[in-house]
Amino acid sequence: MPSPNNSVGIVTPQHVRFDAPLPLRGGATLNGFELVYESYGTLNADKSNAILICHALSGTHHVAGVYSEQDKKPGWWDNMVGPGKPIDTERFFVLGVNNIGGCHGSTGPKSLNPQTGQPYGASFPVVTVDDWVQTQLMLADYLGIERFAAVVGGSLGGMQELQWSITHPRRVANALVIAAAPKLTAQNIAFNDVARQAILTDPDFHGGDYYQHGVVPRRGLRLARMLGHITYLSDDAMGSKFGRILRSGAFGFGFDVEFEIESYLRYQGDKFAESFDANTYLLMTKALDYFDPTHHHQCSLSEALKPATADFLVVSFTTDWRFAPERSREIVKALLDNNRQLSYAEITSSHGHDAFLMVDEYYHGVVRAYLERIPL
Amino acid sequence: MPSPNNSVGIVTPQHVRFDAPLPLRGGATLNGFELVYESYGTLNADKSNAILICHALSGTHHVAGVYSEQDKKPGWWDNMVGPGKPIDTERFFVLGVNNIGGCHGSTGPKSLNPQTGQPYGASFPVVTVDDWVQTQLMLADYLGIERFAAVVGGSLGGMQELQWSITHPRRVANALVIAAAPKLTAQNIAFNDVARQAILTDPDFHGGDYYQHGVVPRRGLRLARMLGHITYLSDDAMGSKFGRILRSGAFGFGFDVEFEIESYLRYQGDKFAESFDANTYLLMTKALDYFDPTHHHQCSLSEALKPATADFLVVSFTTDWRFAPERSREIVKALLDNNRQLSYAEITSSHGHDAFLMVDEYYHGVVRAYLERIPL
């Protein structure tokens, strides 16, 4: 029942529980877990039209559609996923899943640990991109999907796609790696560590067990998000949107909000601190830091990507300085070293890293054309 | 008594008190103030060989030399200032001064307010680059220096130099503006605001009056400095120095220090939080945000720099992304629009913004050659 604006319409999250113990890359074991996911479109008879969307740091399983007629806020990639949209739900069965360690329904730090009846909190183990891929694989098995028509991800989601293609090449026909990087640089890690330190040193963090204290480390999470936002936007985009514009038109010579950019960042920080879980933020940034498929290959990305047999579409954005086009080019080069089928698009955009979430005619056209060529 | 390594040797800070009320740009009045300064070299008979060094965010009056034979830490620009060094104390009388609002001896938030007998704390007024130039002018008058042979500044120090040249053109013969920008961008302001919010929301900040509570907002100041450091270094420099090197050689899957870059940043943050005053940090970042000589000139830097008659040397560094070469080029263009005498050097360096504090043969050679041509 697509709505007039090509939305997938009203959607309902689904839950699945896996009871077997899950050994994690970090050495710990999770005694069973739950995944929350959404799907859009219809799985065809031979289950060959499924596309998995992997989310980024603060993303969720809620990729497209709304939860009610009144819901003003559609899923985070609603401009990309829907009937007639680049990821076309009239052809594909599209799957969004919240990763474990998350805070939107899949088992994570704020979930109750069945063994204690208390939230996991600090006891929730560190999870990695490998672990997420493993749980996504279990979901695919549960749904009977032998091979994804495509696995798609932007930013940290793109890293999950890379891991899918390396670990389970036979289960990925096409790989869309958007605004990603093969691994973080020292500067990327540095920004993550400042964000983590903001949370870890917030007196309301209580070593990660703030749930029991009836507080949340709001200050730390707010700072983390403000900082994150600076890295998601380009200097240019910030300049044209906010420049040096003053809220009141004159300097206040104090420490209240003065520049529009301050107002914007503080608002984004406050909003995020209301809704996101600080322990999840810590876990997501760690997963980013740890991701490095070259780690066991003498830093050679070509060696690391040797098992990846999917057909690739790699996309980068010119003003993205978090994961600059150079980082995507590393992936492209490594794939070329392995003589893989690939397409690469470097999209001219002023929107920085966030461009992967925005509407851009060329970008959407490339994704659409790439997916349209997949025979079903 | 120069030491073997061309140091100015043991130096002693001097103090001067100005008792007249100082009206500030922000509307407040400071009821007298004290400046701490140092000088190196000898003022010549006609007082024509004085060079003023303006410090940046965390700089001080202690530009060169040491405080004792045992002192292992020379002044912050000891590689640049000394006998036979680029800013040659055998020719020039070099003056370093701590700005008001600072925390190293000049009147600032942690100074005692004579009217209350308590530290100024939150009641210390916001100061601007204009105000600093005014107080530096008062010091020049006190020392009988009618015209500086040169005013020199890097980063925020370069902004003070620009203001000197605009407001008091007849008192500056040569202007050295290094790694500076004519005004902050939205992204620059955004980073400053995250740093300020880290301090302002630290529960130990107590609205700026933490001195009375026997605490300091160490957490906030530490985060501010960690973040600052990321913007002072280039991505490249961080990459070659730290890369993804792990302290213990293996992932720890926890939140302790793992990557060398984390260790470095936390150490820098801790060290800074031990010694710097949080209120001063707030004031310095505000002075940066406010600085905009184009503000009353319809954003035209050419118009703003029209009064500046000094001979200029502008220097930028290729990997500086805090104040990129493009920002220095704006200054150069505006000076050219006014047909001013100028030299411009864009130094190839991997060290980012911090390059202005480091030894580089070409950089030091340019400064040396520029100053050597000044007749005395």
Query: What tens digit of pLDDT does each residue of A346-363 get?
Result: 999 999 999 999 999 999
Rg (CA), chain B: 20
Nearest chain B residue to A198 by CA distance is B223
**Whether pLDDT at A207 is above 60:** yes
What does the pLDDT average to over A254-263?
95
Catalytic residue, candidates B78, B88, B353, B354? B353
Cross-chain Cβ contact A197/B222 below 8 Å: yes
| Per-chain mean pLDDT for chain B | 96
Q: Give the residue carrying structure tokens 């406010």.
A: B290
So what's the pLDDT on residue A352?
97
So what's the pLDDT on residue A249?
86
What does the pLDDT average to over A320-327?
97
**Whether pLDDT at A323 is above 70:** yes
Distances, alpha carbon A374 to alpha carbons A93, A307, A371, in Å = 13, 21, 5
Question: In chain A, what residues touch B189 (CB-CB under 8 Å)?
Answer: 244, 259, 261-262
Most B CBs within 10 Å: which of A188, A218, A238, A255, as the mutation test of the B interface?
A255
Query: What tens digit of pLDDT does each residue of A62-76 get?
Result: 999 999 999 999 999
State whether residue A119 is helix, strand or coil. Answer: strand
Closest CA to A122 of A274, A280, A285, A276: A280
Helix-strand-coil percent breakdown of chain A, rounded to 5?
40, 20, 45
Question: In chain A, what residues touch B242 (CB-CB under 8 Å)?
Answer: 186
Contact criterion met (CB below 8 Å) for A334 and A297 = no
So what's the pLDDT on residue B249?
86
**Whether pLDDT at A5 is above 80:** no
Question: In chain B, what residues touch A193 (CB-CB under 8 Å)?
Answer: 226, 259, 261-262, 265-266
Residue A222 confidence class, pLDDT cut points 50, 70, 90: very high
The fraction of chain A above a pLDDT of 70, given in percent, is 99
Cross-chain Cβ contact B223/A201 below 8 Å: yes
So what's the pLDDT on residue B252?
93
Chain pair A-B, CB pairs under 8 angstroms: 146
Half-sphere exposure of B108 (CA within 13 A, CB side): 24
Contact criterion met (CB below 8 Å) for A18 and A77 = no
Contact criterion met (CB below 8 Å) for B223 and B270 = no
Burial class (CB in 10 A: 0-12, 13-18, 19+), B181: buried
**Whether pLDDT at A21 is above 90:** yes
So what's the pLDDT on residue B55?
98
**Whether pLDDT at A1 is above 90:** no
Report the C-alpha gap between A323 and A320 in whole angstroms. 6
Query: What tens digit of pLDDT does each residue of A160-183 get?
Result: 999 999 999 999 999 999 999 999
Cβ count near A317 (within 10 Å): 29
Residue A4 confidence class, pLDDT cut points 50, 70, 90: low
Dihedral pair phi/psi, residue B71, rounded to 5°: -60, 120
So what's the pLDDT on residue B1?
43
User: Strands (DSSP E) along chain A, which ranges?
Assistant: 14-23, 29-40, 50-54, 81-82, 87-88, 93-97, 150-154, 174-178, 311-317, 342-347
Cross-chain Cβ contact B266/A193 below 8 Å: yes
- Structure tokens of B158? 């370069």
Helical axes B278-290 vs B156-167, angle rounded to 10°:
50
Please confirm, yes or no, whether A240 is among the known catalytic residues.
no
Question: In chain B, what residues touch A254 (CB-CB under 8 Å)?
Answer: 126
Query: What tens digit of pLDDT does each residue of A90-141 get?
Result: 999 999 999 999 999 999 999 999 999 999 999 999 999 999 999 999 999 9
Burial class (CB in 10 A: 0-12, 13-18, 19+), B2: middle
What does the pLDDT average to over A24-34?
96
Q: Which residues of chain B fall short of a pLDDT of 50? A: 1-2
Cβ count near B309 (within 10 Å): 17
